[in-house]
Structure 1
Amino acid sequence: MARFTFKLPDIGEGISEAEIVAWHVAVGDRVEEDQQIADMMTDKATVEMESPVSGVVVELAGEVGDQVSIGAALVVIETDADAGSGEVIAAPPTDAQAETAEQYEAENPGVEEAQILPGTGRGTASEAGGGGGEPQAVPPIAVPEHAAQTKAPVEAPLHHPADGPPPRAGEELKVLASPAVRARARDLGIDLATVKTDGERVRHADLDAYLRYGSAQGYHAPQTSRARPDEPVRVIGMRRRIAENMAASKRAIPHFTYVDEIDVTALEAMRADLNDHRGARPKLTMLPLLIAAICRTIPDFPMLNARYDDEAGVVTRAGSIHLGMATQTDAGLMVPVIRDAQDRNVWQLATEIGRLAEAARTGKATSAELSGSTLTITSLGPLGGIATTPVINRPEVAIIGPNRIIERPVFTGRGDEIRRAKLMNLSISCDHRVVDGWDAASFVQALKRYLETPVLLFAD
C-alpha cells in the first residue's frame, strides 16, 4: 500500500485559493482513476477535480464551504499499488481549456460532471428586491492565439494491456475513457474513436483540444451552434418608460459614486439569531436591517433624503423617509415605495418589503405605491458583484446599492491574528449639484457604524 497526496492545482491566473462546493467522495470510499472527487469554486468558475490514481480515500481537506489554498493537500488516497509515497498535483488547465470548460458548463448546466453552482452571496434577488436577468447566449468557442503553436495530440490508443487480450478480428475496439468523459462526449455528439490524446486514455482536456482544433486538424466538430436570425424588438410600454427615465437621469444629473467596505459579520450573526426566534414573523433578509440603519442615519444627513426640482431650482428635504425599492419584474424595473419607513421596525419592514415586491411582480401595485419616493435602495442580491454605480431615480438626489456579501480572512489588528469575516461593499450614487463627496462619505461612515455594531439598531 502507498499513500498519494493530491494537491490543489493552480486553476487560474491570480487565484490563490478555491472553495469546496461539493464532495463526491467520503473517507473510506474507493475511487478509480479519473473519477470525480470534488468541485472547487473560484471567483471565476467551478472546476471539477478528478482523482489521478485508484485507491481508498483516507483524508479530505475540509468540509463544503472551506477554502483550500493552491498547492495545499486536497485528498489523500491509499493506493493498491506499491508505488511508494508521493505527492500528486494535477496539471492545471490551460487558458484555452478553462475557457472551453466554462463555455461547456454554461451551455450544459444539467450535465453532472460540469455543474455550475450559484454565487456565494446570501439571500436571493427576490429577497433583496433586486433584479437579475436571463443568461446570455454563449459565443462560439474561440481559437486562442497560441493554439497554432500547441502540439497537436496523437491518436487515442484503442487498447491497453491492462484491458486483457487484444480484440480479435471483427471485434469492436474500445477507446479508454472514464465514465464522466464518455458522458460528456455523448452529450457533445463526439465519437471518442476520432479524438486524439497524448496519454493512454481520452480525458476532458482531449475533448477540449478536439473542440479547439476543429477542422484545422481534420476534425469535424459537432454542430453546437445556437445562432438564430436577428430579431427586432420594439422598446415599448414599461421598458420604454424605464429607458426614458434613465436617459433623462443621466443627461440631467451629474452623478458620482462612493463605495466603502463594511464588515457585516455581527449583523449576519444577529440576523440568524433573530430568524431562529422569529416565531410567526417573516424571515429577515439583509434588506430590512439595512433600511432600519438608513432610517437611523438619515436625520443627520437630510440633504440625501430629498427631491430636486431643477426647473424651479428648489430642493425639498423630505420630513419622512419614503424609501423606493428597485424591484425586477417581468415587465421591467419597478420601484414600489415603503411609506414612512422610519416608523417601522425590522419585522414590519420585512412584511412590507414582501408585500410590495409581490404586488409589483404580479402587476397589482397601485400608482400610489409606485410613486413619491424620497430615497431609493437597489440590490442584486447574490448577483451584486464587487461594486455597483446605480443610476439615481430622478428627481431624488441619491440611491444606495448594497453589493454581494463575501467571506474572507481579515487581520484583527492584534499582530498577525486573522479571523473569518463577512464583508459587503456599499455603493451610493449622488447628485453632485446637491450632495458633495464629503457628505456622501460621511453618511456612509455613519451608516457603517450601525451595520458593524447592529445592537445600536435597537437602542433608544
Structure 2
Amino acid sequence: MEIKAPDLGVDSAEVSEIMVAVGDVIAKDDNIILLESDKASVEVPSSAAGKVTKISVAVGDQVSEGMVLIELESETENQDDSQSTEAAVADTQDKSRDTEQEETQKEEQSDKVTAESNTAQPAQQAATATTHALPDLGVDEAQVSEIMVSVGDMVTADQSILLIESDKASVEVPAPQAGKVEKILVQTGDMVANGQDFIVIIGQSSDNTNITSEAKAEDAQSQDPKPAATDEKADASQKADKQVTTAPKQAANATTSASNKLTEAQVNEKMVDVYAGPAVRKLARQLGVDISEVAGSALNARILKEDLFAHVKQSLTTQQASPATATGASRASLPSLPDMSNVEIWGETETQDLTRLQKVSIPQLNYNTYLPQVTQFDLSDITETEQLRSELKGGMKAEGIGLTILAFIVKATAYALTQHPRFNSHLSDDNTQVILRKSVNMGIAVATDDGLIVPVIKNAHEKGIKQIAIEIGELAIKARDKKLSTKDLQGASFTISSQGILGGTAFTPLVNWPQVGILGASEATMQPKWNAAKQAFEPRLMLPLSLSYDHRVINGADAAVFTRYVATLLADPRRILL
C-alpha cells in the first residue's frame, strides 16, 4: 500500500525529517515525515496502519501533492496471507466452518468499508486552513493600527483586514483569499515585519481529499496521545511566535547594527552547512541573523523557528544596557522635560497626541541626525517653461490631467540623475562602497492631514512629462484617501519636496536615509534679472531650489554642479531631448 503526500497548501515542500524506518509498525495517523515550506512546518500522518516496507523519499527532497512517501504492508494483507496458509494446511476442516469464517470476513470487510466511507465524508467536507504572511510593507517594520475583522468573520479576497502604519503611510492589507477567519496572529499596536504570519483563513477545499494538517491533528488528538503532544508543541510554537511579535525586528535591529549587519548574500553563505528548513532559513534572512551561531534543538541539531527567536531574544537581553535604537541614542544626550505643572512658571499647557503617522516617522527622522547633511541653494529661471506649461495645461485639463510645474521638475531631475548617477545611490553599511541605482524611482513628498508621506514614481527617467503628471495626480489622491499600497511607497532612490504656493524663499529638506539627496522647490516669484544683451533688468519667474545631500557621498563642488544643471534643464526643457 502506497502512502502519498496530501494537499500541502503549496506547490512543493522540502523533506526536513523522516520519522519512521523500514520495518517499523505504525498506526493510522502516526506522523511519518516532517515537511517544511516557506510558510510552515507540517508533520504528515499516515493514512493507514501497517509495517513500513519502503521509504520513497529522502531528507532534502522536494515533494508535492500525490507523491508516494512510503509503502506499507497492511494488517489486512497479513491476515489474508495467514488465512491462505491455514487453509492449505487444514484442508480437511469442516466446510461449514469455512463458510462461517468467509461470512464473518465479509461482514468485517463490509463494516470496514462502511467505517472508511463515514470517515471519508467529513474529509470531503473539510476546509483548508492556511496561515498567511504579510506582504512586503516597503519598510523594515510597521505598526498594526487597526484590525478590521474578527475571528469567525467571512471575508472575500482582497477585502481590507488590517491597517498598517509606518513612517511613510497608512496601508490597508487585503485578505489573500476568501474564507472564514480562524485565527488572528497579531494585535493592535504590534510592530510587524515583512513575511510575518498574521492571519489564518479557512477556505473551502477544491479537492475532496484536501485535509489540513490542523484538521488531522484535531482528529488524531482523541485517538493517540502522540499527535496530541504534537498539538501541544504546535500551540507552544504559536505562543512563542505571538510573544515575539515585536521582538524579532527589535532584536534584529539591536544585533545587526550599522557596523555588523549581515547582507542577504552573507546570510546565505552562512546557511550552506546548517541543518534548517526553508521557512527557518527565510526567517533568518529577514532577521539578518547569522544562522551558523544558532543552536538547533530538534533531532540531529535541526534549527527551529523557536531556536531563532531564542537566539534573538538572548542577543537583545545582552545589549539592553546600551541604547540600541536611533530613538534611544538621540534621547541619550537630552535631559527629561522639567515638571511643567506649575502654572505660575510655565503658564497654561495642553497635551495633544501625535498622529500614528507622526509617531512611527520619528525613528526614521532620527536617522538624519547621523548624516553629515549640507544644503546647496540655487535659482532657476522658469519663465519660458511656465509659458510652455500654460499653453499645454488647457488641453491636458480637458483630458482630466493636472499639469503642474512639479511634473517638469520631476522630469528634469530624473534626467539629471542619469547624468550624475552618484546622486542616485546609497552608501553601503560598511562605508566602503557606493551602490549606484540604474533606474530613477522618484519619491514625491505629499502633505496629508496625518503628516507627510512619500509615494514613488517608478522609472521616472523613462517617462514623459504627461505621464509623470498623470501619476502625480493619481498618487496624490491615493495618499490623501489613504489608499496607497506598499508598492506605491517603496524603492525610492531620490526625493523631491515641493512647497508649491505655500510661500517661502528657501528651506532645508532632510535627506531621507538611505538616499543621499533630496531636492526642495519653493514658491516661484517674479524677480528682476539683468539682461546683458539689452543692458537692462527684466522681470523673470525664478524658482528657488534647495538640494540637501549626504556629505559622505557627495562633495560640495559636485552638489553645486548638479543643482546648476537641474536649474538649466528647468529653464529650457528642450535640452532633455538633446
**TM-score, length of structure 1 as denominator length:** 0.48
Bigger Rg, which one = 2
Higher-RCO chain (CA-CA 8 Å, sequence separation at least 6): 1
